[in-house]
Amino acid sequence: MTTIGRIGNSLKNRLPEASRRRFLQKLGIAGAGLGVVAASGGTAARAQSSVTDADIVQFALNLEYLEAEFYTMASTGMSIADHGIEIDGSGAPGETTGGQKVTFIEGSSLAISAEQIGADERAHVALLRTTLMSLGITPIAKPAINLEALSTGFESQEAFINLARAFEDVGVSAYGGAAPLIENKDILGAAARILAAEAEHTANLRLHASLYKAETITVDGIDTAPPPSGENYFTTDANGLTPIRTPGEVLYIVYGSMANATSGGFFPNGFNGTINMAGTEAMAS
């Protein structure tokens, strides 16, 4: 039996109530349909919820849609649908707007990296969709995505590095924050391998930032810019560990630094799925 098959057989039931409560305490999820809130006093943790491991996969799928669209547009000038990736499903479908093919130095390590990362991100979309379907769950549709949310990322190689680096570091922190909360070991194993792939991507891009002398933005108070904007090639702390972010902190960033928002930034109509509300600014600093 394949790994996807094992995931499907073992996750057809929802998390036990005690596990859901523990999940809520760690993530601060107020309840199905309410998304992630910035609650420090435990109010969200006491609420009833139907959040499952599958909801976490759906949350991740929103992010993978964004990354896949960004890299595919930057490296090929086309969308992921043009590459045969399925994007239909539950929730509100939306178009991807903005972006263009980046003018890379032909044959350069950066151009090749952009192509290979794009292929990885498209594969991640397909994997997460297949995982959900193996559970008998319809994957979320690709929501509306605005690749020009920051009005940068495509006008030069340096601009590409700037935005790509931010996407990858946020992605690593998102998987790092979610991984300990996943109950099913097969899904956890798959998430760990995706996290490792995202970590390889960000290491590549952080090094390219230095090589291309590309100035890079920081997206919140825990973000670490690589050289030349910062001093550290890696984001690791004194324990040699990368930072983690809750779903609320991730949504705060991708919604354009909007506290308690349910849409904005790269997702003008918001995320599809249960986990869809940004945290407060304090969470992201």
**pTM, rounded to two decimals:** 0.84
Whether the predicted pLDDT of 75 surpasses 90: yes
Question: What is each CA distance from 219 to 153, 162, 241, 251, 253, in whole angstroms?
Answer: 14, 11, 19, 12, 7
pLDDT, one tens digit per residue, over 134-191 is 889 999 999 999 999 999 999 999 999 999 999 999 999 999 999 888 999 989 999 9
Distance in angstroms (rounded) separating the CA atoms of residues 176 and 191: 9
CATH number, residue 230: 1.20.1260.10
pLDDT, one tens digit per residue, over 189-241 is 999 999 999 999 999 999 999 999 999 999 999 999 999 999 999 999 999 99
Distance in angstroms (rounded) separating the CA atoms of residues 137 and 131: 9
| Spatial CB neighbours of 188, under 8 Å, sequence gap ≥ 6 | 179, 182
Distance in angstroms (rounded) separating the CA atoms of residues 253 and 44: 21
CB of 59 within 8 A of CB of 91? Answer: no
Distance in angstroms (rounded) separating the CA atoms of residues 52 and 61: 14
Q: Which two tokens stand for residue 38?
A: 């910035």
CB of 260 within 8 A of CB of 249? Answer: no
Number of domains the chain is built from: 1
In order, the DSSP letters of 211-241 are HTT------STT--PPTTTSS-SS---TTS-
Share of the chain above pLDDT 90, in %: 76
Q: Which domain holds residue 102?
A: 3-284
pLDDT, one tens digit per residue, over 21-62 is 443 444 433 333 333 333 322 333 323 356 689 999 999 999
